Structure 1
């Protein structure tokens, strides 16, 4: 017999903490896409954020080393340049997360019978002081590049039991229903 995987345990969270609830539900949705449907997760969207942050940290580290080697009066122009560049990079990061990521927490690739790959995107939001979990599942067709999406808005109580554990079967049923509706919509066209 194989040893039990750690994924077999239900995820237990503080059900009164909105961010923890959203993250746990997001993880459950991502697990359905990657494990049930066997889609390959694509990290390019997150890599963009890492590149922006890496540049900002690199500039800050350069300023730190330069200031150590050439103390303040001499390093003033480099420090001004570094602080300005860091500020600009953080502005770019804010724009990137707001307009490019748009709350997307999973991008998965579905290999099609042709060489074109369908892209599945899952995004969500949970308003502060609200129990309505908003999940948006989008399909970008590999051939036509046409984007179709479906969404749900339900209380987190539909997916979390009284002990604070995510009920994966309920999340899986909901995601599967959304997934199948997008696939059937694709076949009809």
Structure 2
């Protein structure tokens, strides 16, 4: 943990800011443990987003005006909807609440990385963190582990994140995941 960084201070009434700050800290902690982020899913999502933008630009700036380009516009609208549905399916089925997906650490005997997921329900102070295998069907996958805690334990009254506390909790959760016995066959 680097002490040269300024403390993270935020408005404790801003739910999104609290979740974002905690998620960023959790990601830093996991990466500091030797896990490297797997950005393939993010790259696929960005590629689909670029395709959606290109479709929208083609439909907007096509050389013919409306009555002549009717069929072209209909095709663009259909493609736009198809790629947006595909993007939402990827987010809903693959990404879920994941804040970080990693490769296995270098030199590790496990063949899977981690999926770190979090939830902070609106109007609640209870933050849930889950660490699971990136490939749950793998023989080296462990059972997911969970941490549920009030965010008030990680912040001072002034809205400053106490990184030592969150660091200790997340490292303990990672250790619990990596030391857990394998599933019975």
TM-score normalised by L of structure 1: 0.85
How many residue pairs align between the two structures? 181
Per-residue CA deviation, residues 47-101 of structure 1 (Å, 9 max, x unaligned), is 22212212211111121221xx111111111111111221222222222111110
1:156 maps to 2:151: yes
Correspondence for 1:40: 36
Gaps of 5+ in 2: none
Deviation at 1:18, TM superposition (A): 1.1
Per-residue CA deviation, residues 3-60 of structure 1 (Å, 9 max, x unaligned), is xx8971111221111111111100000000112x132111112122212212211111
Correspondence for 2:169: 174
Root mean square deviation, CA, Å: 2.4
Correspondence for 1:130: 124
Q: Secondary structure at the match of 1:133?
A: strand
Correspondence for 1:13: 10
Which has more strand, going by share of residues?
1
How far apart in 2 are the matches of 1:101 and 1:17? Answer: 24
Correspondence for 1:31: 28
Per-residue CA deviation, residues 131-163 of structure 1 (Å, 9 max, x unaligned), is 111111113579725352101111110111111
Correspondence for 2:49: 53
Deviation at 1:186, TM superposition (A): 4.1
How far apart in 1 are the matches of 2:170 and 2:80? Answer: 40
Gaps of 5+ in 1: none
How far apart in 2 are the matches of 1:56 and 1:145? Answer: 38
1:120 maps to 2:120: no
Correspondence for 2:60: 64
Correspondence for 2:180: 185
Change beyond 3 A, Cα 1:92–1:147 = farther
Correspondence for 1:146: 141
